[in-house]
Amino acid sequence: MILLASALHYADDQPALIQALVERLSDSGTLILELGIASSRKAEWIDVKRGIDERAFPSMPMLRQVLSDYAWKWMGPSVLQDGDPVARHVVHISRRRPVAYLLMQPPGYGKSSIASGLFPRADIPIVSGDEQIGLVAKGKAKVSEALRAAIMEGYSPYHLDQTIQRIFEQGLGGELVALWLGQAKDNDVALDVYVPSAYHGAVEQLLEDRGYLPVQLRWERVGQAPLPEAMMAEQAEAFYLSMLDVASDSRASEARRSQWDPAGFVDEVMVDGDQLVIRGWAIDESGALPGKILVKIGRRTITVEKIDRQLRPDVQRHLGLPHALVGYRASVAAPEVRTSADLTNGFKVFVRGGATFQLAGEVNTIFSSRTQ
């Protein structure tokens, strides 16, 4: 704590003196400033004649400008002194810490929608925790080996809640928060990531330790709970197809006219009994999920008989697609596959005459098994 009582007006450069004192404060320190504030609606310095000299005093609008880079609060008038030509006031000033807005609600609460609708207007960057973890899994972000191992242990983009739980259980929450803040560059930031409620306090403390002011946004979910994934995909598909059936709908017409480069990704491969389950996303020239997907295991090529369509709003946003129904969950009979080593010789997912799907990582990093 630093006290400057009725002395600011003696400084040749009053804003510079305030800055010098604030720089001496600790992150949680306070500068208690008693000063005279001249009466004026304009932002100006007013020269006031006193008994022995003439000094400049700020108006309240000018004081607001001087203190705009700090966190401050007007505490009220000070004790009246006989002969004071300008009324004294007390102001508490502290360092302005960057704000970390935390959107940590569970899936289905609309975190991303709220973030995208609110923070870009204030020019505050949004950091997606899920995206940062995905970059680590793909080897595109530098982290410690301990954090990388915790992320890669049973990694799946569909079970990031389990990944975050594991990271905090292993005492690596600080490194995870540092990964998120690496995108903020010591400025205000919005963190869009689900964190189990048991670790909310830990996240706030870690942010405070790094000089941030954590502000957690909480809200009740509006409407019904999220539908099961299969039902949601089915309803989304029905809605999208109905849109395409309406000839007068300009959006549907534009969707039919648009062309995309065929592409596909394999995000996860899993053994479930005698079935090999593959999840990812793909599009054909029309921006839709291909109707027929083939899987090659060694010398055997299998046509996927049943494809469960899934919503991938992340892919929709990235590619500018007219809908998000481009995710897939494909199952093929593969009793010979027990471990990732069984897929090292000739594993491929593709569309005949179209795209060969890119693996999101090495086979052993995207592989899991329910038989273990």
Q: How large is the average pLDDT for residues 249-260?
A: 51
Beta bridge partner(s), residue 74:
91
Total H helices, total E strands in the chain? 12, 19
pLDDT of residue 199: 92
Structure tokens at 315: 């892919």
Instruction: Tell whether the model's pLDDT for residue 264 goes beyond 90.
Output: yes
Q: What is the pLDDT of residues 39-58, one digit of tens each?
A: 999 999 999 998 788 999 99
Beta bridge partner(s), residue 331:
277
Q: What is the pLDDT of residues 88-147, one digit of tens each?
A: 999 999 988 899 999 998 877 888 888 888 898 889 999 988 888 888 988 888 999 999
Q: In angstroms, rounded to a whole number, what is the distance separating the alpha carbons of residues 325 and 158?
A: 16
pLDDT of residue 116: 85
The residue written with tokens 């690596």 in the block is: 172
- Domains, in order of start, for the chain: 2-94 (3.40.50.150), 99-216 (3.40.50), 229-369 (no CATH)
Residue pair 132/145 in contact (Cβ under 8 Å)? The answer is no
Instruction: Tell whether the model's pLDDT for residue 281 goes beyond 90.
Output: yes
Percent of the chain at pLDDT above 90?
47
Structure tokens at 364: 């052993």
Beta bridge partner(s), residue 302:
295
Number of Cβ atoms within 10 Å of the Cβ of 196: 14
- Of 37-41, 147-151, 229-233, the one with minimum mean pLDDT is 229-233
Residue pair 328/309 in contact (Cβ under 8 Å)? The answer is yes
Q: How large is the average pLDDT for residues 308-316?
A: 85
pLDDT of residue 363: 85
Residue pair 123/187 in contact (Cβ under 8 Å)? The answer is no
pLDDT of residue 245: 41
Cβ neighbours for 65, distance < 8 A, ≥ 6 positions apart: 43
Residue 224 pLDDT grade (very low, low, confident, very high; cuts 50, 70, 90): low
pLDDT of residue 169: 92
Ramachandran area for residue 151 (φ above 0: left; ψ -120 to 50: alpha; else beta):
alpha
Q: In angstroms, rounded to a whole number, what is the distance separating the alpha carbons of residues 186 and 16?
A: 23
Residue 232 pLDDT grade (very low, low, confident, very high; cuts 50, 70, 90): low
The residue written with tokens 């810490």 in the block is: 97
- Of 14-28, 42-56, 230-244, the one with minimum mean pLDDT is 230-244
pLDDT of residue 124: 92
Q: What is the rounded average pLDDT for all residues in the chain?
A: 85
129-137 and 160-169 helices, crossing angle to 10°: 80
Residue 247 pLDDT grade (very low, low, confident, very high; cuts 50, 70, 90): very low
Instruction: Tell whether the model's pLDDT for residue 37 goes beyond 80.
Output: yes
Percent of the chain at pLDDT above 70?
89
Instruction: Tell whether the model's pLDDT for residue 242 goes beyond 50.
Output: no
| DSSP code at position 8 | G
Instruction: Tell whether the model's pLDDT for residue 371 goes beyond 90.
Output: no
pLDDT of residue 280: 92
Instruction: Tell whether the model's pLDDT for residue 354 goes beyond 90.
Output: no
pLDDT of residue 228: 56
pLDDT of residue 27: 78
CA pseudo-torsion sign 106, 107, 108, 110: positive
